[in-house]
Amino acid sequence: MADWRLEGPYMKNCNCDPGCPCDFNANPTHGSCEGMAAMIVEQGHFDDVDLDGVKWAFKYWWPGALHEGHGAGQPILDASMSPEQMQAMGSILSGENGGTFYGILAEIIDTFHDPVIADIDIDIDVEKRRARCAVGDALETTSEPIRPIGEEGGDYSIQIKIPGGFEYDEAEIAMATVLKGSGPIAFAHERSHSSLAHVARHPGN
């Protein structure tokens, strides 16, 4: 098994209402689950392959609760990656090199569509609860803070803490004002759930 590590800001936007029930082992808001995840690797490696600065995204769909499986996924790899970096990220995202999060995804996804290789325009500001990710015609999403209804004042600051969680230990909750995907995993939603977090993943985590 390779020695690897990915550390940096991470976003997950899905079709659930803000405060995604999946974080509480409950059924998705609308029965099925679909959306995206993405990460900017600030520090990373795969054996001797440097992954600093790598950007990746992933579109997904499940017919029901995630733990029931039978999902579909499609990796998106930034076109600026070297062939070695793409191979490394493919090995990590597949779950074949360990890591609880990616290993679980491999178990609950039956269909992996061919990866998209394209420029990823992404920015994630966890503290400000703002993010965006755009990949040509394949993906577009924007996260903004949740705000009071009919009141003056600042944005809400809402956190979910899951010590030892397989996806993150703590996340800022925001609203996905736009969530669009096309291709084999297509969706279009507004005002849905967004999780923003700083994560550090490796074969044992």
Task: Please write the tens of the pLDDT for every residue from 113-136.
Answer: 999 999 999 999 999 999 999 999
* Residue 81: inside a domain: yes
Is there a domain that residue 62 lies in? yes
Say what the pLDDT of residue 151 is. 66
Instruction: Look up the pTM and report it.
Output: 0.95
Q: State pLDDT tens for residues 139-198.
A: 999 999 999 887 667 899 999 999 988 899 999 999 999 999 999 999 999 999 999 999
In a domain, 194, yes or no: yes
- Position 61 in a domain: yes
3-state SS, residue 160: strand
Average the pLDDT over 11-22 and give the result. 95
* Gap between the Cα atoms of 73 and 69, Å rounded: 12
What pLDDT is recorded for position 46?
Answer: 97
Nearest residue to 15 (alpha-carbon basis) of 59, 56, 51, 49:
59
Question: Distances in Å between the alpha carbon of 55 and those of 9, 46, 117?
Answer: 10, 14, 11
User: Is the predicted pLDDT of residue 138 greater than 70, yes or no?
Assistant: yes
Q: How many domains does the chain have?
A: 1
In a domain, 205, yes or no: no
d(C-alpha 87, C-alpha 110), whole Å: 21
Q: Is residue 73 part of a domain?
A: yes
Q: Does 38 score more than 80 pLDDT? A: yes
CA dist., res. 174 & res. 196, Å (int): 7
pLDDT at 149: 81
Greater confidence (23 vs 129) lies with 129
201, containing H or E segment? strand 192-201
Which H helix or E strand runs over 178? strand 170-181
Owning domain of residue 100:
4-200
